Structure 1
């Protein structure tokens, strides 16, 4: 979990610096909400993976599939909530969200594969 917190802190610093030094045109004003959302999702996935790794490793695959479905549904709900409330700059919002989604998905796969190699 500390890796997710570290990655989120690093992204927050990069976004804050980019916002202060003229790259604000590439950042949606709700980038902070997106980071908090993805940190929460990472926490949920981390907890589910811990349960999947306990006792019987045969439970790992169903738990991993559950995290994929949970992430997809929660992301759709998150984006739908903001679109329903009339967020301005829809294209920028979705592009920033997708960039963070891809980053966190790749980060999760990297951490998970590292844990699987260590466990074998």
Structure 2
């Protein structure tokens, strides 16, 4: 969980600095909500992976598939709620969200594969 927290803090600092120095045109004003969402999602996935590793390593694959589906469904709900409430700059919102989705997914796969290699 600490790597995800560290990543979120670094991204928050980068986004804040970018917003202050004129690169805010690339960032949607709701980037803070997106980071909180992805941090919460990372916590949920971390807990599910802990349960998958705890009891039996054979249950790892079903737990991992469950986290992939949960991440996708929760992401669709998150975007749907904001778009449904009439967020301004929908295209920028969706592009920023997809960039963060891909970034966090790649980061979690990296952390997970690192932990799997260590466990072998």
Above 0.5 in TM-score? Answer: yes
Matches within 5 A, 1:33-112: 33-112=33-112
User: 1:117 is matched with which residue?
Assistant: 117
In the TM superposition, what whole-angstrom CA distance separates every residue of 1:62-120 from its partner, at most 9, and x where no partner exists?
00000000000000000000000000000100010001001000000000000000011
More displaced stretch, 49-58 vs 3-12 = 49-58
Structure 1 residue matching 2:44: 3-state secondary structure:
helix
With the length of structure 1 as denominator, give the TM-score of the two structures: 0.99
Extract unaligned runs of 5+ from structure 1.
Answer: none
Alignment partners' CA distance in 2, 1:78 and 1:90: 13
How many angstroms does 1:55 deviate by? Answer: 2.7
With the length of structure 2 as denominator, give the TM-score of the two structures: 0.99
What is the CA RMSD across the aligned residues, in angstroms? 0.4
Extract unaligned runs of 5+ from structure 2.
Answer: none
In the TM superposition, what whole-angstrom CA distance separates every residue of 1:43-65 from its partner, at most 9, and x where no partner exists?
00000000000131001000000
Spell out structure 1 runs of 4+ moving beyond 4 A: none
The count of corresponding residues between Structure 1 and Structure 2 is 120
